[in-house]
Structure 1
């Protein structure tokens, strides 16, 4: 089971700067570092982060689940200023759902000492339309940021 530690909200000046990054990421549907598969029903992503690496701000609008392939520690910053640090064990899994008009924007940084790998599956038949992805992501010629 994952263990989450909620940390204090970001300092106001940093939170204000991040608010601009969050707003810019509102249409970024690249929820992994690489799109592995996509069909009419789902998108399958991987996230691979070496120690100190980070996937930038991105937005979830679709129902999805993630599973931790490896154990590790990560930090996420959220649009409401909340910061969460989480210890993951291999095999941890979480399902998330979003109603019409709902979304979540966050980032993910590997703050541990080992490579951190997740698999994320998004369901395209969710309450919200999927966000567009750049063509190069679909062709596998670019790494999502």
Structure 2
């Protein structure tokens, strides 16, 4: 799969965001840290762990690589998206979702643990996707 340097057309923050979240959204467009900790990286994959205690939130980040996530624990979360959408989800251990992005496509969102248990996810990004990986350092 060919990876060409793409100049992404980052969106403006949704009007529905609080002033603090709008500032964070702008600062984090292009932030490729999609988890709490990068646990493994090769020329083929990046493997992340995401752990959120009740009430904890991972700020806005950007997905450009094909990836999947799997819920290690169950719980509830809310995400705000670049298009203004807000989604609340209930997760069960083993829930898995796959995402694919074409050249120049991306998703920006946050994740807030709104439940009363720790949420843990494993995310695997495929480095050899249509877009070059974002910097995570």
TM-score by length of 2: 0.85
Cross-structure match for 1:55: 58
Corresponding position: 1:107 with 2:110: yes
Cross-structure match for 1:139: none
Q: How far apart in 1 are the matches of 2:95 and 2:18?
A: 33
Q: CA deviation at 1:22?
A: 2.2
Cross-structure match for 1:39: 42
Cross-structure match for 1:143: none
CA displacement 1:5-45 (0-9 Å, x = unmatched) = xxxxxx94x43734443232112000000000000000000
Structure 1: any 5+ residue segments left out of the alignment? Answer: 1-10, 135-145
Corresponding position: 1:22 with 2:18: no
Q: Is contact 1:44-1:122 (8 Å) kept?
A: yes
Q: Is contact 2:69-2:123 (8 Å) kept?
A: yes
RMSD: 1.5
Q: CA deviation at 1:118?
A: 0.2
Q: How far apart in 1 are the matches of 2:114 and 2:30?
A: 26
CA displacement 1:25-75 (0-9 Å, x = unmatched) = 112000000000000000000000000001110000000000000000000
CA displacement 1:84-131 (0-9 Å, x = unmatched) = 000000000000000000000000010001000000000000000000
Cross-structure match for 2:124: 121
Structure 2: any 5+ residue segments left out of the alignment? Answer: 1-13
From the two aligned structures, give the one with the greater helix fraction. 1
Structure 2 residue matching 1:62: 3-state secondary structure: coil
Structure 2 residue matching 1:23: 3-state secondary structure: helix
Q: How far apart in 2 are the matches of 1:67 and 1:54?
A: 18
